[in-house]
Amino acid sequence: MKLWLYAGCLASVLAGCAQKNEHAAVYLTTADEKQLFQSQPVLKPVKDTALVNVRIDTSLQYQEIEGFGAAMTGSSAYVMQQYMTAPKRKALLDELFDAEKGIGINYIRLSIGASDFSLSPYSYDDMPAGERDDSLTHFSLAKDTGALIPVLKEVVAINPSIHIMVTPWSAPAWMKTSDKLEGGSLRPDAYAAYAQYFAKYIQALGAYGIKASSLSVQNEPQYEAAYPTMKMTAPEQLAFIKDHLGPVLHQKGINTEILLFDHNWNSPEYPISILDDSVAGKYVAGAAFHCYEGSVGAMSQVHEAYPNKGLYFTECSGGSWAPDFAGNLKYMVGNLMIGTVNNWSRNVLLWNMALDEHNGPTTNQPGPAGEKINRGCMTCRGVVTVRSDSGTVSRNVEYYALAHFSKYVRPGAKRVASGHPDGLENVAFLNKDGSRVLVVLNTGEKDREFSVQDGNSVYKYVLKGGAVVTLVWK
- Across the 474 residues of the chain, what is the mean pLDDT of every consecutive 10-residue run? 38 39 92 98 87 92 98 98 98 98 98 95 97 98 98 98 98 98 97 98 98 98 95 98 98 98 98 98 98 98 98 96 94 97 98 95 65 75 97 98 98 97 96 98 96 94 97 96
Taking a C-beta distance cutoff of 8 angstroms, is the pair 411, 437 a contact?
no
Query: In 3D, which of 306, 288, 52, 266 has the Cα closest to residue 166?
Result: 288
DSSP state letter for 244: I
Strands (DSSP E) along 67-158, which ranges? Answer: 67-71, 107-112
DSSP state letter for 104: -
pLDDT at 3: 41
- Nearest-angstrom CA–CA distance, 160 and 463: 36
Taking a C-beta distance cutoff of 8 angstroms, is the pair 328, 357 a contact?
no
Contacts of 7 (CB under 8 A, 6+ apart): none
pLDDT at 362: 84
Contacts of 62 (CB under 8 A, 6+ apart): 344, 414, 415, 416, 417
Domain with CATH 2.60.40.1180 in the chain: 2-63+414-473
Other Cβ atoms less than 10 A from the Cβ of 236: the count is 17
pLDDT at 48: 73
Query: In 3D, which of 161, 60, 7 has the Cα closest to residue 414?
Result: 60
Q: Which amino acid is at 350?
A: L
DSSP secondary structure letters along 323-359: --HHHHHHHIIIIIIIIHHHTTEEEEEEEESEE-TTS
DSSP secondary structure letters along 23-77: -EEEEEE-TTSSSSSEEEEEEPP-S--TT--EEEEEEEEEEEP-EEEEE--HHHH
CATH code at 66-406? 3.20.20.80
Burial of 87 (0-12, 13-18, 19+ CB in 10 A): exposed
Q: Which amino acid is at 274?
A: I
CATH 1.20.120.1760 fits 2-63+414-473, yes or no: no
- Nearest-angstrom CA–CA distance, 158 and 283: 31
pLDDT at 47: 84
Distance of CA 200 to the CA centre of its chain: 24
Taking a C-beta distance cutoff of 8 angstroms, is the pair 168, 112 a contact?
yes
Task: Show contacts of 17-26: CB within 8 Å, 24+ apart.
Answer: 17/42, 18/42, 18/435, 18/472, 18/473, 18/474, 19/474, 22/457, 22/473, 22/474, 23/473, 24/452, 24/459, 24/471, 24/472, 24/473, 25/471, 25/472, 25/473, 26/461, 26/469, 26/470, 26/471
Taking a C-beta distance cutoff of 8 angstroms, is the pair 155, 72 a contact?
yes
Cis geometry, peptide bond prior to residue 361 (ω within 30 degrees of 0): yes
Query: In 3D, which of 144, 234, 260, 251 has the Cα closest to residue 199?
Result: 251
